[in-house]
Amino acid sequence: MTCPLSIIIPIGPHETAWRNLLPQLLDAGGEAEILLASPDSEPDDWSEMLEQWGGEPPNIPVHWIQTPPGRALQMNEAARQANGEFLWFLHADSEINSETVEWLQNSLTAAPEALHYFDLKFQNDGPLLMRLNRWGVWIRSHWFQMPFGDQGLAISAKTFRELGGYDESQPYGEDHHFVWRARIAGGKLRRVGASIATSARKYRDRGWLRTTCRHVWLTWRQALPMWCQLWKRRWFG
């Protein structure tokens, strides 16, 4: 049975951040389903969690999908099993508020053919210099049209499948790579107009400067050849 929105959350091995995100999504309500894709088996307390957070069964259907590891593979498999007209990909350590889903639904209604993304804030679990990273994300996504997966990418299921889903051969940045492929195919990006938050703990644990520089290097290493493809298509068809 088709529903308006399928919320897809890839979960890494032994990752637990989704336990904070899931009740936020259930509280947000709306016509949706939630698919959590993980290489781990369903948690032992799965039924108890759903009963505590959303009733038994919860108002929003929640499905645990066990897949082989790999973020792109996990998201693709969840997308194959999704019933939604639109797919919303969220990182497990995202943080939303009660208005997030409403903002997204309004954006999807206004431009159903676009690839939608949120502005990004960082949670208070990283260095103070993360304020610079927030500005960097704004410039990257607004000026250079390169939103990342932690900005909650959303797209119609039909368009996602026409584009072939996420490229499972990419060693990193499958979400960034997908954005470029959508743009090369003629797709438009649309800013939702609201923000979601993500964890900054990796900047704290691995070092702010080292992590920031590595992300910038890997981003442009992947972006430049895709940018060439985009302009080649625009100029030569």
One-character DSSP codes across 192-236: EEEEEEE--HHHHHH-HHHHHHHHHHHHHHHHHHHHHHHHHHHHH
What pLDDT, in 10s, does the model give residues 203-224? Answer: 999 999 999 999 999 999 999 9
Q: With cut-offs at 50, 70 and 90, classify the pLDDT of residue 106.
A: very high
Residue located via tokens 């438009």: 188
Helix (H) or strand (E) holding 184: helix 174-184
CA distance 180 to 213: 21
Question: For position 2, what pLDDT does the model report?
Answer: 52
**Amino acid (one-letter) located at 54:** G
Class of domain 3-236: alpha beta
Question: For position 43, what pLDDT does the model report?
Answer: 87
Residue 57 has pLDDT above 50, yes or no: no
> pTM for the complete prediction?
0.94
Question: For position 46, what pLDDT does the model report?
Answer: 81
Residue 116 has pLDDT above 70, yes or no: yes
CA proximity to 92, closest of 71, 76, 69: 71
